Amino acid sequence: MEKVPLLSVENLNVEFSTPDGVVHAVNNVSFAVESGETLGIVGESGSGKSVTASSILKLNSGVTAKTQGAILFNGRDVLGADDKTIRSIRGSEIAMIFQDPLSALNPYYTIGNQIIEAYRVHHRDVKKSAARKIALEMLHRVGIPNPEARIDEYPHQFSGGMRQRIVIATALINSPKLLIADEPTTALDVTVQAQILDLMKDIQKENGMAIILITHDLGVVAETCDDVAVMYGGRIVEKATVNELFLTPTHPYSFGLLGAVRSLDNSARGELQTIAGSPPSLLHLPSGCSFLPRCGYAQQNLAQCSSVVPELEKVSPTESFSACHLRTEALISLKMKELA
Ligand code: SF4
């Protein structure tokens, strides 16, 4: 019998109406995540990765947003769920953490109060004293030294790395099945970044939760993820295991990203470097491939590249999926020779 994924996103489309027109933020995005697995969603700013992640918690449901497609979590229809159901899923079964821990923590409440409150929202019958014990255990688990002394302190009394640990403690207090982490280490220095990623991996090993990691940092992807979806212009342009992406990339955009990473020296972080040109405006997506103005391979197939949007399809002989009209072994081997 085929295994049912914990989360499946199918043909997700998200549009926002703005005074300048309709922003096509996410276009026909599909992926699945299993329990215990980490999926990286990687791309430049404005590629649609954060809007995709927010859709999983139905956070884009404002009056200007139009969301279509299907999101199934643990067998339940998320997009069709009512507000009460979504509120019960948020923070208990699916938790989300963001880049800036300060914006996630209320400066006027002690960290203990915030973690206890996050727990009791979903466990109303648990007494505050019992919830405090659970919060202390979690603070200990995420590496806050001497939590008994520090649980009654305020967010500003902690360093950036410690604050992100507190945010993770708050996110994990209800043992979610899925953690969505949107650039969780971008604001932190390299050493603290590695500690936070290790912490997330350790907790995942213990409780088997799935993680969706949104990042612009291929170094983080290489360290942390099992599978990766590369987004460009609101679409997934390549989907692969991490090994496949790094060893046999199949999309010209991935070639550019990886070429940039490979050119970095050992002391540098693997952040995406500038590829000549700019990402497309999501207000005015072209009729063909949105990577065309930046693609060094389009000349071989200009008529098709400029008029037909390439679909994400399996690329032989790899296990990857790529959205490029030139999905040929010749293209891959040509690029691999350049990268070698
Ligand atoms: Fe380049 Fe054409 Fe492939 Fe787009 S479809 S990435 S323009 S070769």
**Ligand 1 within 6 A of CB of 325:** yes
The model's pLDDT over 110-134, given as tens digits with 9 standing for 90+, comes to 999 999 999 999 999 999 999 999 9
Domain membership flag for residue 138: yes
Final residue of a domain: which of 230, 265, 288?
A: 230
Domain membership flag for residue 263: yes
Domain membership flag for residue 243: no
Domain membership flag for residue 335: yes
**Ligand 1 within 6 A of CB of 326:** yes
**Ligand 1 within 6 A of CB of 324:** yes
- With helix as H, strand as E and coil as C, how does the chain read? CCCCCCEEEEEEEEEEEECCEEEEEEEEEEEEECCCCEEEEECCCCCCHHHHHHHHCCCCCCCCEEEEEEEEECCEECCCCCHHHHHHHECCCEEEECCCHHHHCCCCCCHHHHHHHHHHCCCCCCCHHHHHHHHHHHHHHCCCCCHHHHCCCCHHHCCHHHHHHHHHHHHHCCCCCEEEEECCCCCCCHHHHHHHHHHHHHHHHHHCCEEEEEECEHHHHHHHCCEEEEEECCEEEEEEEHHHHHHCCCCHHHHHHHHHHHCCCCCCCCECCCCCCCCCCCCCCCCCCCCHHHCCCHHHHHHHHHHCCCCCEECCCCCCEECCCCCCHHHHHHHHHHHC
Tell me, what's the pLDDT at 165? 92
| Residue 148 sits in the same domain as residue 209 | yes
Q: Which of 237, 238, 297 to mutate to test the pocket of ligand 1 (most atoms within 8 A of CB)?
A: 297
Q: What is the mean pLDDT of the segment spanning 237-258?
A: 91
The token duo for 36 is: 């215990």
Instruction: Tell whether the model's pLDDT for residue 198 goes beyond 70.
Output: yes
The token duo for 166 is: 């507190």
| Residue 189 sits in the same domain as residue 285 | no
| Residue 121 sits in the same domain as residue 177 | yes
- Quote the pTM value: 0.90
Cβ 183 vs Cβ 97: under 8 Å: no
| Residue 115 sits in the same domain as residue 218 | yes
| Residue 104 sits in the same domain as residue 253 | no
The token duo for 299 is: 């000349």
pLDDT-based confidence at 104, cuts 50/70/90?
confident
| Residue 60 sits in the same domain as residue 198 | yes
Looking at the structure of the chain, the number of domains it has is: 2
| Residue 172 sits in the same domain as residue 306 | no
Domain membership flag for residue 2: no
Domain membership flag for residue 237: no
The model's pLDDT over 173-188, given as tens digits with 9 standing for 90+, comes to 999 999 999 998 887 8
**Ligand 1 within 6 A of CB of 48:** no
**Ligand 1 within 6 A of CB of 289:** yes
| Residue 23 sits in the same domain as residue 167 | yes
Q: What is the mean pLDDT of the segment spanning 79-87?
A: 90
| Residue 102 sits in the same domain as residue 225 | yes
Tell me, what's the pLDDT at 340? 56
| Residue 51 sits in the same domain as residue 192 | yes
The model's pLDDT over 258-295, given as tens digits with 9 standing for 90+, comes to 875 554 343 344 455 568 888 899 999 888 999 999 99
In angstroms, the CA 249 to CA 277 distance is 21
Q: Which domain holds residue 263?
A: 248-339
